[in-house]
C-alpha cells in the first residue's frame, strides 16, 4: 500500500534540488482549471437563485375587464365642451404689438363659422331667407350698422364706417368670376375684446358685443348678378380685398356687422393673396372659408345663375331692384 502511495505521489510531484516536493506543471494547470469551473458553477447557481427569488417575489396582476354598462347619458354638444362665456376665452398674441389675437380654445370659431357660412351663401345666389333656413338660424345673423366701435391692428378703439348687405328676405346675388364660378373667400385676421383694463378695473367701450372678430373678404369676382322677384341685373366688378366684422352678442350669437368702408385693396396689387389669406387663417386657428369649405361643411353649393344672366344689363331692371330694396329699408317691407 505504501509503495502504491509513493508511486502516486511521484506521479503528481517531484523533488527539487533541496529535496522538497513540488507539484508537477500539469497538476498546477488542472488545479487552476478546477478552481475556474467551481467559480463559474457557483456564479451561475447564485444568479439563477436570485432570478427565481425576483420572479417568486413579483406579484402577477390579473386584469379583469368588466362588461360595459349601458347608460342613457345625453350626447355632448358644442356648448357642453366649448366655453361660450367670453370671460373663459384666452386671447393669444399672434404678432407682437397687434390688437388682433387668436382665441383659445379655437372651438369658439365653430359658431363663428356658421355665421360666416351665411355670409357666403348670400353671395352664392341664396336669398337671405333661404340661407337662414338652410343653416338653421331663427333670424338673420346680421346687423344693419353704419358705424361700429372697434379696434384696428394698431389703433383703437375707433368708430369705423361700415356698409351692410341688403337684408331684404327675397333678395339674391351672385358674385362670380368670368366662368360663372363662386369667387368669395374669408380669412380670419384676429379677434379682440371690447373693453380696456385700466388698473384693476375693466371699462367696456362697446357694450353691444363682448368680442369682435375681423375677417378679410377676398372677392375675385368680375361680375355681380342681383335678382329680386323677376328683374335680374348684371354688373362688372373689380377683384378686391375688403374687411368685415363679426360681433359676439350677450345671447351668444355671432352677427355679421358689415364691411368696413376702408381699406379696400385691389387683389392684383397683392402677391399671392390666396396663400397669404390661408396663412392668416391658420395662424389664428381657423380654416380658409371658401366655396369648397361651404359645400363640404354645410352641403351648400352655389345656386344656378339666372337664365341669360350675362346679358341682363338693362338699367330699368337695376332701378327696379334698387327701388324695392330702398322701400324695404325705409318701411321694413318690400
Mean pLDDT confidence for 297-314: 96
- Residues 228, 163, single domain; the answer is yes
> Is 260 within 8 Å of 162 (Cβ atoms)?
yes
- Return the pLDDT at 26: 59
With beta carbons less than 8 A apart as the criterion, state whether 274 and 185 touch: yes
Q: Are residues 105 and 182 in the same domain?
A: yes
CA 113, CA 290: separation in Å to the nearest integer?
A: 11
Do residues 223 and 236 touch, judged by C-beta distance below 8 A? yes
Residue 21: inside a domain, yes or no?
yes
306 and 158 together in one domain: yes
DSSP run (H or E) holding 247: strand 240-248
Residue 288 in domain: yes
Could you tell me if 103 and 47 lie in one domain? no
Same domain, 210 and 259: yes
Q: Which of 72-76, 105-109, 137-141, 325-329 is the least confident region?
A: 72-76
Q: Which residues of 208-227 are buried (b: 16+ CB within 10 A; e: fewer)?
A: bbbbbbbbbbbbbbebbbbb
Between CA 146 and CA 258 the distance in angstroms is 8
CA–CA dist 277, 287 (Å, integer):
10
Q: Is the pLDDT of residue 178 over 60?
A: yes
Predicted confidence (pLDDT) per residue in 209-237, tens digit: 999 999 999 999 999 999 998 899 999 99
Same domain, 43 and 139: no
Q: Is the pLDDT of residue 57 over 90?
A: no
Could you tell me if 47 and 173 lie in one domain? no
The pTM of this model reads 0.74
Pair (193, 326) in one structural domain = yes
Partners of residue 223 on adjacent β-strands: 176, 236
DSSP 289: B
In which domain, by residue range, is 158 found? 81-331
Question: In this structure, is residue 294 part of a structural domain?
Answer: yes
181 located within any domain: yes
Confirm whether 196 is domain-assigned.
yes
State whether 190 and 272 are in the same domain. Answer: yes
How many domains does the chain fold into? 2
Whether residue 69 lies inside any domain: the answer is: no
70 lies in some domain: no
Q: What grid cell was written down for 54?
A: 425576483
Nearest to 306 by CA among 251, 228, 194: 228
Shared domain check, 37 and 114: no
Q: Helix or strand or coil: residue 326?
A: helix
C-alpha cell at 172: 339674391
User: pLDDT averaged over the chain?
Assistant: 84
Residue 61 lies in a domain: no
Q: 195 and 258: one domain?
A: yes
Query: pLDDT (tens digit, 9 = 90+) per residue, 84-141?
Result: 999 999 999 999 999 999 999 999 999 999 999 999 999 999 999 999 999 999 999 9
Which residues pair with residue 15 across a beta bridge? 21
In the predicted model, what is the mean pLDDT of residues 18-34?
A: 61
Task: State how far the Cα of 245 lies from the Cα of 212, in Å rounded to an integer.
Answer: 7
In a shared domain, residues 170 and 271:
yes
Amino acid at each position: 500500500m505504501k509503495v502504491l502511495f509513493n508511486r502516486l505521489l511521484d506521479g503528481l510531484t517531484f523533488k527539487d534540488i533541496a529535496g522538497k516536493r513540488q507539484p508537477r506543471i500539469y497538476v498546477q494547470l488542472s488545479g487552476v482549471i478546477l478552481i475556474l469551473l467551481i467559480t463559474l458553477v457557483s456564479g451561475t447557481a447564485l444568479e439563477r437563485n436570485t432570478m427565481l427569488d425576483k420572479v417568486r417575489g413579483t406579484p402577477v396582476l390579473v386584469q379583469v375587464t368588466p362588461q360595459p354598462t349601458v347608460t342613457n347619458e345625453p350626447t355632448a354638444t358644442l356648448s357642453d365642451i366649448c366655453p361660450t362665456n367670453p370671460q373663459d376665452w384666452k386671447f393669444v398674441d399672434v404678432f407682437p404689438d397687434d390688437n388682433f389675437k387668436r382665441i383659445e380654445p379655437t372651438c369658439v370659431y365653430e359658431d363663428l363659422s356658421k355665421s360666416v357660412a351665411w355670409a357666403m351663401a348670400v353671395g352664392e345666389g341664396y336669398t337671405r331667407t333661404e340661407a337662414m333656413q338652410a343653416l338653421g338660424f331663427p333670424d338673420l345673423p346680421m346687423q344693419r350698422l353704419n358705424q361700429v366701435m372697434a379696434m384696428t391692428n394698431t389703433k383703437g378703439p375707433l368708430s369705423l364706417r361700415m356698409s351692410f348687405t341688403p337684408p331684404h328676405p327675397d333678395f339674391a346675388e351672385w358674385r362670380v368670376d368670368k366662368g360663372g364660378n363662386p369667387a368669395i373667400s374669408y380669412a380670419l385676421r384676429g379677434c379682440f375684446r371690447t373693453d380696456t383694463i385700466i388698473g384693476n378695473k375693466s371699462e367696456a367701450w362697446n357694450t353691444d358685443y363682448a368680442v369682435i372678430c375681423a375677417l378679410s373678404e377676398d372677392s375675385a369676382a368680375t361680375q355681380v348678378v342681383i335678382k329680386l322677384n323677376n328683374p335680374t341685373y348684371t354688373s362688372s366688378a373689380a377683384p378686391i380685398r375688403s374687411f368685415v366684422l363679426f360681433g359676439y352678442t350677450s345671447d351668444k350669437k355671432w352677427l355679421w356687422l358689415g364691411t368696413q368702408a376702408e381699406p379696400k385693396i385691389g387683389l392684383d396689387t397683392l402677391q399671392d393673396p390666396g396663400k397669404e389669406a390661408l396663412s392668416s387663417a391658420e395662424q389664428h386657428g381657423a380654416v380658409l372659408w371658401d366655396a369648397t369649405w361651404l359645400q363640404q361643411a354645410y352641403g351648400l353649393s352655389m345656386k344656378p345663375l339666372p337664365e341669360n344672366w350675362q346679358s341682363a344689363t338693362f338699367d330699368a331692371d337695376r332701378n327696379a331692384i334698387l327701388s324695392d330694396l330702398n322701400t324695404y329699408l325705409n318701411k321694413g317691407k318690400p
